[in-house]
Structure 1
Amino acid sequence: MRIVLAEDNDILRKSLSFFLESKGYTIDQFSDGKDALEAIKTNSYDLILTDINMPGISGMEITQYVRQTLNSDIPVIILTSSGVEQTELDSFDIGANEFIAKPISPAVLLVRINKLLKTRV
């Protein structure tokens, strides 16, 4: 299973990537939303993990592009340090499957990833 991970915090991105790879996932990491979106356009992924606030293109814009332009139902999990309820509601409105506030529990993230991927198979 191949996951795109778009997160501009280097420590968080690398630690989540290491954790998920240890669980058998292949992770393509990006610190910039624009680079992540280019990869999504040209590669096949099973899931997208994206932070909302990133350089280049936001996680919201990535989600909108995947849903509207690519017309894809690939699961999208939005990560954010924003605890604002409206941000969470907006994420679901544009098609995100899950919304996880930081700090992120890797174990909880893994459960949510597995749940989303199981419903796709």
Structure 2
Amino acid sequence: MRIILSEDNDILRKSLSFFLESKGFTVDQFADGKDALEAIEKNSYDLILTDINMPGISGMEITQHVRQNLGSDIPIIVFTSSGVEQTELDSFDLGANEFMAKPVSPAVLLVRINKLLSTRV
């Protein structure tokens, strides 16, 4: 299973990537939303993990582009450090499947990933 992880916080991105790789996933990681979106357009992924606030292109813009322009139903999990309820609602309106507040628990993330991927098979 191939995952794209778009997160500008280096420590979080690297630690989540290491954790997911230890669970058997292949993870392509990006610190910039623009680079992540280019990778999404060129490659096939089983899941998108994205932070909302990133340089280049936001996680909201990635979600909207994947749903509207690419017409893809790939599962998307959105992270944010914002505690604003409207942000969560907006991410679901754009097509996100899950929303997780930071700090992200790797164990909880793994449960959500497995749940989303099992419903696609």
Please give the per-residue CA displacement for 1:24-47, whole angstroms capped at 9, x wherever unaligned.
Answer: 000000000000000000000000
Q: Secondary structure at the match of 1:57?
A: coil
1:56-110 deviation digits (Å, cap 9, x = unpaired): 0000000000000000000000000001000000000000000000011100000
- Residue 114 (structure 1) aligns with: 114
Note the residue ranges of structure 2 that are not aligned, 5 or more in a row. none
* Residues 23-38 of structure 1 mapped to structure 2, 5 A cutoff: 23-38=23-38
By how many angstroms is 1:15 displaced?
A: 0.1
Q: Counterpart of 1:4 in structure 2: which amino acid?
A: I
Instruction: Note if 1:84 corresponds to 2:84.
Output: yes
TM-score normalized by the length of structure 2: 1.00
Question: Is 1:51 equivalent to 2:51 in the alignment?
Answer: yes
Sequence identity (%): 86
Distance 2:5 2:59 in 1: 11
- SS of match in other structure, 2:13: helix
Aligned length: 121
Aligned-pair Cα RMSD in Å = 0.2
Instruction: Tell me which amino acid in the other structure corresponds to 1:35.
Output: D
- Aligned partners of 2:114 and 2:83: how far apart in 1? 24
Structure 1: 5+ residue runs without aligned partners? none
The letter of the residue matching 1:114 is N
TM-score (norm 1): 1.00
Divergent runs of 4+, >3 A: none
Q: Distance in 2 between matches of 1:76 and 1:20?
A: 16
Q: For 2:48 and 2:110, how far apart are their aligned partners in 1?
A: 13
